[in-house]
Structure 1
Amino acid sequence: MDRIEVIKSNQALLNKRYKELMEIAYNFRQTDSALSDISEYKAIKLLNKLNRLKYLSRELAQSPVQS
């Protein structure tokens, strides 16, 4: 597996976890606001990681291939 494929697979896993955390946050918004806030905070941290991976994959895709 090359680096871009590894980054893309990590992005997919993080994206799935991000969506799960946002759903949990939404579901607990009315019943347990503290749990909702914690889930949303974790989701935001994952989103930050996703953005960094997106930037990294873009940089790797644009760099010239070295033999």
Structure 2
Amino acid sequence: MENQADIKQHQLKLQSKYKQLIEQAYNMRQTDSALSDIWEYKAIKLLNKLNRLRYLNRDIAKPSF
């Protein structure tokens, strides 16, 4: 169960960082499009990690019979 709690905590941390990067990218879109693109790319990479964690968490939550 500890692993599942650790995964969930890591997920929440990544979600917070993802939201922050998306907000920064959106705010910079009009003034510095290159920097906005960089932050959006980093956010997409984080989203990929989040999706992988969701997949792992789904596998852990399933009982294996």
What TM-score comes out, normalization by structure 1 length? 0.92
Map of 1:54 onto structure 2 = 54
**Number of residue pairs matched by the alignment:** 65
Structure 1 segment 30-45 matched on structure 2, within 5 A:
30-45=30-45
Identity %: 62
In 1, Cα distance between the equivalents of 2:32 and 2:13? 27
CA displacement at 1:52 relative to structure 2: 0.1
In 2, Cα distance between the equivalents of 1:5 and 1:53? 12
Moved over 4 A (4+): none
In 2, Cα distance between the equivalents of 1:63 and 1:16? 29
In 1, Cα distance between the equivalents of 2:58 and 2:14? 17
CA displacement at 1:63 relative to structure 2: 3.1
- CA RMSD after TM alignment: 1.4
Map of 1:6 onto structure 2 = 6
CA displacement at 1:13 relative to structure 2: 0.2
In 1, Cα distance between the equivalents of 2:6 and 2:63? 17
Unaligned runs of 5+ in 1: none
What letter matches 1:63 in structure 2? P
In 2, Cα distance between the equivalents of 1:63 and 1:10? 22
In 1, Cα distance between the equivalents of 2:23 and 2:56? 27
